[in-house]
Structure 1
C-alpha cells in the first residue's frame, strides 16, 4: 500500500479505525502508539511527534521532541478484529523512521542504521535474510512452568499456536516456510522465508508480537527470552543470509559452488565475530545459551554439516543456486535485529573488502576436541559473558564505524549498567548453595 487514496479505501473496506506507528528502543523492544485513521494523512505529510525521553537509548529530557515519519511501504492491516461495545473494528501497523526537532535523521534510530549500512555497501551486494525464531510456551508470564514434554519434531502440545501464528503472519504478507516443536520441553520454532534484510528485521519484530498475542488467546505466555530454564536448550534465532547484485546471488559460483565472496564474508564474520558479539548476544542471559552441550555455538568455526558451528553453509542443491547462503547461528531472538543484522553484514563485508580467507571448515563438534587440537587448528572462541564481550565491542573500530556515535555510546552505557546491576544482585544460586552452609 503506497497510494494515499488507495490506502484510505483499504481502511474503509477492512473497517480499520486506527493506525499504530511501530518502532523499537535501542534494545529492540517493540514500542508503538495509536492514531485514528482520520489523522493518518496528516501523519504521512508531517509525521507524528512524541516524547523520546522515556525510551531506552533515545533522547535526554532537554532534547526529547522527536518525530515519527511512517514508511508507508510497510503499512500492514492486522488480521484480527476487535469487538467493541457497539462496533467491531480493526487496526493497521506501520514502521518508519525517527527525526529530531530540527528535522534531521535521528542518530538513535536503529532501523535507519540498518538501512544506511545496507546502502553503504550496496556496490558489493545487497543482503537478503531469513530467520528461524525459537520460543517457549509457558503457562504464565511470572514463572517458566512447562506446558508439554515434547521434543525435536515430537508433537508436544500447542502446535496450533504455531499454526494460528503462521496463518496470521501470512495474511499480513509475512511468509513462513516451516514450523516444528524444538528440542527442549515447551520449545517451538517458526521459520520466516528470506526477503530483503530491512524487511526481515521488521518481520522479526512483528512475528514476536503476533506469537505472543496468539499465545495469550490460549491463556498462555510465549517467551523469546534466550535461556529461561538453565537445564535445557535456550532460544536461538539463526540468521540465513545471502548477498545479491544485479539480480544474482553472488554467494554462488558456477565452478566452485561457494564463491570467493561467500568465503571472504565467512572469514570476516570469524575474524570480527567476537568484536560484534555484544550487539548480537546483547543480554547477560544470552551467554547462558552459548555453552557446550546445548546445540549452540561456542567456537568461531564454520562447516557444511556441522550444526554446532558458529557459521554453517547448507549443502548446495543442484538447480537451487539462489538458495546458496550462510547460516549465522549465535544470534538469539532477544536481540535488536536492526543492530544485529547491521553488525553481521558489516563484518562480512569487511571480510570481502580485506580479501580474507576463512580457515578450513570443521565438520565435527569442537567441544569434544582437546585444547591442543583446537590450538593446532587455530580455533577461536566466542566470548563467554556479556562483560567480556562488551570490552571487545567498545574497543572495536569496526563497531565504531558501523554504528552511529549515539547508538554506540548509548548501547554500551545501557549494557554496562546491566552488568553492574547483575553483579550487585544476590541470585537464587547463591542462596541455594551458600546460605545454609556459610
Structure 2
C-alpha cells in the first residue's frame, strides 16, 4: 500500500487536511478476523499513539483468559488511510499488540509474527527482502440463507449468474439467459459477465486507499471474480489483503450484493483460492533467478520450493485453515493437492509462471485460500521455504503433465505426497511437524491455534449430520 503518512507529525497533518473526526484502530485476531475500535480524533494525542490503546483480549478466540485479559494496541501510523466507506471522516490505522504481562509484543499477534519472520530473514543473511503477491478470488452473491439448528441444517445461495435461474421469473425484469455456466466463467464479456462495473468500482476504491491494481476479471465459477493487486513485502502484502477483503465486501454490500472469500461455496463449481507468488532478494538481486536453471529458477528457488512442499501438510493448517478449505482441494477444479512443482502447469501445487526474468523470477503456491489468517499463512510459507534453503531440501518433480488425470495408485507409484484431505489432518501434521516455525511461532501460539481450530472448526463440523448423509444413510 502506498504510504500517506511517515510519522506521527505527518499523521496529524493528514488528519487536519482531511478534516478527520475519528480514528479507527484495526487489528487482526488469531483466526484472521479484522477487528476495530474507533476513537474520536480529539481523544488521540501523541501520548496515546506512543503508549497504545488498552483493550480486552479475552474476547477473541485463542487469545487471553479472562483473568489476564488486558492487552495494548500499538498503532502503526505509517499504515494510515481514509476509510472510503465511513459517513464521517475517519482514518484507519493498523495496529500491533503488546503483552503487558511479558512486557513484549504479543506472541499470538499475527502481525507481530509476520514482523518477526521478516527480521529473522534479515538476520540469517540468506536474503534481506521477501516479496509476496496474493491472488484473492471471491464470490459475489445476491442472497444467502443459513439455518443451523438441532433438527435442521441448510444453506441456500443465489446469484443471477447461476444456471439454476434459467427458468426464474423476475418481478422487475426479464430473464436474459446470459450466464457463464458451471466452470465456464473465465473472462467472458458482458452481459455474461454481470459484475464488470462492480469490480471496476472495487478497483477504484482500492486505488483510492493506496493499493495499486493492474487487472480485474470474471473467474471460472458462476458469480466469481478476481482483482489483481501489486506485490509487496511480507507485512505490507498481508496488510493489503486485509484491506482488499474489506473493500470487496463493502462495495458489494453497498450495491445490495454480498461478497465472500469462502473457499468452496458452490458444489460442482470451482472454489476460490489465494495463489501466492513469492521471491527472495538480497542487495537488490533476485535470488530465485538463474537463466540456466529449470524454467529460469535458481537452486535457491528449488530448495525454497522443496521446503514449502516438504512441510506443506503442516503449512496448510495456516494456509487452508477451515474445514471448507478441503472441499476446494480436489482434482478437476484447478485447486491442486499434489505436492510437486512444474513450469506453467496449474495442476501442480507449485507453479513457475511463464516468461520469468531476473526481475520477475518467482514461485507460485496454488493451494492456499483466503479463509487464512494471511499474516500466519505468509509467515509459515516463508519459514518453510527458508528451512528448505538451509537444509537443501528438494520436492518431487518437476512434473509437467496434467496431474489431475493421475489415479491415486499412479500418484503413490511416483512417490508424490498429497496435501491433507481434511483440516483435522492438517492440524495433526502441525503437531508432528513444527520445528521449522520456531522460534517465531512459540509452542504456546502453535498449541492455542491448533486448539482453537479443533474447537471452532473440526469438532462442530464432524458432529453435524449433512443433507447428503440423509440421502445416503436414512434408509439403510
State whether TM-score is above 0.5. yes
Number of matched pairs? 429
CA gap of 1:81–1:336, structure 2 versus 1, over 3 A, is closer
1:53 pairs with one of 37, 44, 58: 58
Match of 1:86 in 2: none
Match of 1:91 in 2: 90
Structure 1 residue runs without a partner (length 5+): 83-88
- Secondary structure of 1:378's partner? coil
In the TM superposition, what is the alpha-carbon distance from 1:79 to its structure 2 partner? 3.1
How does 1:119-138 map onto structure 2 within 5 Å? 119-122=119-122, 123-125=125-127, 126-138=129-141
Match of 2:150 in 1: none
Match of 1:20 in 2: 24
Deviation digits for residues 380-420 of structure 1 (CA, Å, limit 9, x no counterpart): 11111111111111111224544122321111101111211
Match of 1:65 in 2: 70
Match of 1:101 in 2: 100
C-alpha separation in 2, matches of 1:387 and 1:224: 21
Match of 1:40 in 2: 44
How does 1:291-370 map onto structure 2 within 5 Å? 291-317=330-356, 320-370=357-407
Structure 2 residue runs without a partner (length 5+): 146-155, 162-178
C-alpha separation in 2, matches of 1:338 and 1:244: 20
- Secondary structure of 1:335's partner? coil
> Aligned-residue CA RMSD in angstroms?
1.6
Alpha-carbon contact 1:178-1:190 (below 8 Å) kept: yes
1:407 pairs with one of 445, 449, 452: 445
Deviation digits for residues 209-257 of structure 1 (CA, Å, limit 9, x no counterpart): 1100000111010011111112111110000111011112111125433
| TM-score, normalised relative to structure 1 | 0.94
C-alpha separation in 2, matches of 1:111 and 1:5: 24
1:175 paired with 2:212, answer: yes
1:153 pairs with one of 183, 187, 190: 187
Q: Which moved more, 1:27-36 or 1:256-265?
A: 256-265
CA gap of 1:425–1:376, structure 2 versus 1, over 3 A, is closer
| TM-score, normalised relative to structure 2 | 0.87
Deviation digits for residues 150-173 of structure 1 (CA, Å, limit 9, x no counterpart): 310013112222111111111111
C-alpha separation in 2, matches of 1:39 and 1:240: 41
Match of 1:85 in 2: none
Deviation digits for residues 355-377 of structure 1 (CA, Å, limit 9, x no counterpart): 12343311112231244543343
